[in-house]
Amino acid sequence: MFSKPTVEGMRRLSIFSMHKHGVLEAGQSGNWLWQDADTREETGRIGYFCDGHSLRLKYRSRDWGCEWESIEETILLSKTYPNYGGVRNWFICPSCHKRRGVLYGGKYFRCRECYGACYQTQLEDTKSRALTKIYRRRHKLGEYGGLGEPFPQKPKWMRWATYNRLYEVDARENESLCQMEWVWLGKLRRKS
Ligand SMILES: [Zn+2]
């Protein structure tokens, strides 16, 4: 059975569509939703509150194999007045403090440049946590080989039911681990 990687996909916040939906007015609050493009199913949501100068975001996030965490983050807003008239809204990226039209999350919302920079480290952390779990399970079965090795034989003392369960979890987590890298990279690339 295949289970989706539990690493969150990149969520995209666009200042243009938020503006279009009236989110950037002082006193606006609600939920911003993401949908699956095909099924229209909700794939995520964050709560927001706007005071006209900043956007407060409230949501939950979960790292691979960890508990859900509540996160509150404030994104400053900025306006510019182009020569041709009108007004343009911007997010201020909380990491590099530059004006950005789009932010991505992840655990936090940052511009693509900042995500690119810290994403590799995050991914490495997540991967090494995942690997530790897999190794630990295999070591219990008396196996000290690498991940490329087949799943260890059943020790005589272990019940088949237990062994089969461990085998399934191992297969699933290996699969997720392989997926993790290309899912994230694919999503970053698609938005470029
Ligand atoms: Zn940034």
Same domain for 35 and 100, yes or no, is yes
Domain closes at, from 114, 131, 164:
114
Same domain for 18 and 88, yes or no, is yes
User: Ligand 1 centre from 91 Cα, in Å?
Assistant: 10
Same domain for 130 and 184, yes or no, is yes
Same domain for 165 and 109, yes or no, is no
**Domain range for 109:** 11-114
User: Ligand 1 centre from 111 Cα, in Å?
Assistant: 4
User: Ligand 1 centre from 59 Cα, in Å?
Assistant: 20
Does a structural domain hold residue 79?
yes
User: Ligand 1 centre from 22 Cα, in Å?
Assistant: 24
Same domain for 89 and 15, yes or no, is yes
Does a structural domain hold residue 123?
yes
Say how many domains are in the chain.
Answer: 2
Given a contact cutoff of 8 angstroms between Cβ atoms, the answer to whether 49 and 59 are in contact is no
Tell me the pLDDT tens digit for each residue of 23-47. Answer: 999 999 999 988 877 788 887 889 9
Given a contact cutoff of 8 angstroms between Cβ atoms, the answer to whether 83 and 76 are in contact is no
> How far is the C-alpha of 57 from the C-alpha of 32, rounded, in Å?
10
Tell me the pLDDT tens digit for each residue of 38-93. Answer: 788 887 889 999 999 999 999 988 766 677 889 999 999 999 998 888 889 999 99
Does a structural domain hold residue 1?
no
Same domain for 101 and 143, yes or no, is no
